[in-house]
Amino acid sequence: RFQVKEVLDFSLAILPSVILSAIMHTLSLVPTLLMINGVISYAVCSVLYYSIHSLNCIVTKLTLIICHKGMRQRFQLLIFRKVRNSKTKRIKIDVEREGNQYFEKM
């Protein structure tokens, strides 16, 4: 049951990312078509094409992190761990208890 819920959560979180990726890949055809019609040079086409693909990578990953609750929490732990005040105590995780809770949810 727990794994099915996680798969459903991930499937719902990845949909916006896939849609954005499809839109950006379609937009990457515009510089190529402009180059074929002689509007822009090959150099400009290459810069635009690779810029769109680089942005696609960044935007789709950020969208996935924002839409998926577990990834968002892990991201915040990784990024904001260094920002925390040194006076705050780190919570010690009981691995055995966590494992038992995980398998009880199945």
Q: Is the pLDDT of residue 26 over 70?
A: yes
Specify the 3-state DSSP secondary structure of 28: coil
Biggest distance spanned by C-alpha atoms of the chain: 65
Q: Among positive and negative, which fits the CA dihedral 24, 55, 81, 83?
A: negative
Give the integer Cα–Cα distance in Å for 40 and 48. Answer: 10
Q: Is the pLDDT of residue 85 over 70?
A: no
Q: Could you tell me the CA-to-CA distances from 104 to 7, 8, 44, 94 in Å, in that order?
A: 18, 19, 57, 16
Q: Is the pLDDT of residue 84 over 70?
A: no
pLDDT in tens, 28-83: 999 999 999 999 999 999 999 999 999 999 999 999 999 888 888 888 888 877 65
pTM: 0.63
Q: Is the pLDDT of residue 93 over 70?
A: yes
